[in-house]
Amino acid sequence: MTVTVGVLALQGDVREHVHALTSTGARAVPVRRPSELDAVDALVIPGGESTTIDKLLRAFDLFAPLQERLRAGLPAYGSCAGMILLADRMIGGIEGQQTLGGIDVTVRRNAFGRQVESFETDLSIDGVDGEVHAVFIRAPWVEEVGPGATVLGRVESGPAAGRIVAVRQGPLLVTSFHPEVTGDTRVHQLFVQIVRDSL
């Protein structure tokens, strides 16, 4: 079964996510309008700047329709800024910043530090065979996980060892890192399987 996965195309690694999703056998399309959102089985919210994406969602009249679809069970995957937008609670946001919500977690923006403190490491993700090479760029981490959410991965070594960086709740998946930049499509494969299982 071919599933149609939208990639929110307001900011961030849109092309990279489209390429990764296409490599898994999904049909990937950019989403900028409510009518395009209506036509997809699932949505990827890429990395970028969470405050900017929040403002653009509202400017493009997408915030409320997307929030409604998420509440109705739309599968979604958020990487980095996408993790922040899918979190129910956020620490470190600017005044007026909102999240779409959906995953029962508290996320800290820019938790790993500034751009110069970006890093890469290998880690294990439940549901993915073998280690994943994870690229963290001004990334958030998860401070608290509520009873509805399941931790799928943590940083395994270094100063951030133990920090939660991958979580799932029902058809929603989030990671602090950017799998779309590594050429490894296994996280996208996991998400596409979540989408298929939800249909």
Domain 4-198 class, CATH top level: alpha beta
Which pLDDT belongs to residue 96? 87
Name the residue ranges covered by the structural domains of the chain.
4-198
CA atoms of 155 and 89, how far apart (whole Å): 21
Which pLDDT belongs to residue 94? 87
Which pLDDT belongs to residue 114? 64
Which pLDDT belongs to residue 115? 58
Instruction: Please return the burial class of 184, using the count of CB atoms within 10 Å of its CB with bins 0-12, 13-18 and 19+.
Output: middle
CA atoms of 40 and 34, how far apart (whole Å): 11
Q: Tell me the catalytic residues.
A: 80, 178, 180
Which pLDDT belongs to residue 4? 98
Which pLDDT belongs to residue 1? 83
Residues paired with residue 42 on neighbouring β-strands, in sequence order: 5
Which pLDDT belongs to residue 175? 98
pLDDT in tens, 141-150: 999 999 999 9
Low pLDDT (below 50) residues in the chain: none
